Amino acid sequence: KAGVTQTPRYLIKTRGQQVTLSCSPISGHRSVSWYQQTPGQGLQFLFEYFSETQRNKGNFPGRFSGRQFSNSRSEMNVSTLELGDSALYLCASSVGWGVTGNTIYFGEGSWLTVV
Amino acid sequence: KQEVTQIPAALSVPEGENLVLNCSFTDSAIYNLQWFRQDPGKGLTSLLLIQSSQREQTSGRLNASLDKSSGRSTLYIAASQPGDSATYLCAVRSTGANSKLTFGKGITLSVRP
């Protein structure tokens, strides 16, 4: 069974531009969450979706947004890119959400470089 | 606010050694704790998931324990191998309306042949 798929894997953007990252969860998984990983801050939670609804959100500015589609695929968007947005963006999926205590599975990530 | 700490940040051991990786968290109101492995430039691979009602989980050479009341978890790796070299992260899922996973910064393990 295919794992979590993230596209694109690598991208370079210029300050002020916007970017959209895509995540396809494991088949049958309805929860998708997003994380930002940087050397200084480590892994930080961005948001989590379940059944097309955002269930919770981390402490990131409004430039970071996301959505989930009816087939559970998810996208995240970062507008007005800043140099500090350069990071590995990781998507994870699980069968359920929150209290269900399911194992979560990560994709390989999207490496974003802002220049 | 939940905080997860993993100390030390890096560890180097000779092959064959049994080792323990530590994880501590500040808020014991958790649903579960999960250990992950991350290889350089890659995503995270789940190793073990411990529910809050459990004390430990085992998978092969790995054993993870959870002491929720003291806010501690350990990952025990038996007979370490060079292939175990990676960064190991623990994460806790907090209870409450804003339930989310909070990660430690990880322990980078190097197993020397």
* pLDDT of res. A23: 98
* pLDDT of res. A101: 65
* pLDDT of res. A98: 63
Integer Cα distance of B57 and B35 in angstroms: 11
DSSP string, B37-77: EE-TTS-EEEEEEEETT-SEEEETTEEEEEETTTTEEEEEE
Are B6 and B89 in contact by the 8 Å Cβ rule? The answer is yes
A1 confidence band (pLDDT: 50, 70, 90): low
Q: Is B108's Cβ below 8 Å from some Cβ in A?
A: no
CB pairs under 8 A between A and B: 54
* pLDDT of res. B100: 85
List A residues 38-57 in contact with B (Cβ-Cβ < 8 A).
42-45, 48, 55-56
Q: Which of A10, A23, A43 to mutate to test the interface with B (most CBs of B within 10 A)?
A: A43
B78-92, pLDDT tens digit by residue?
999 999 999 999 999
- Here the tokens at position A56 are 């919770």
**Are the beta carbons of A42 and B36 separated by less than 8 Å?**
no
The mean pLDDT value for A38-56 works out to 92
Integer Cα distance of B35 and B50 in angstroms: 9
3-class SS of residue B110: strand
Q: Is the pLDDT of residue B94 over 90?
A: no
Per CB-CB distance under 8 Å, the chain A contacts of B59 are: none
A70-103, pLDDT tens digit by residue?
999 999 999 999 999 999 999 999 988 766 667 8
B5-51, pLDDT tens digit by residue?
999 999 999 999 999 999 999 999 999 999 999 999 889 999 999 99
Mean pLDDT of chain A: 93
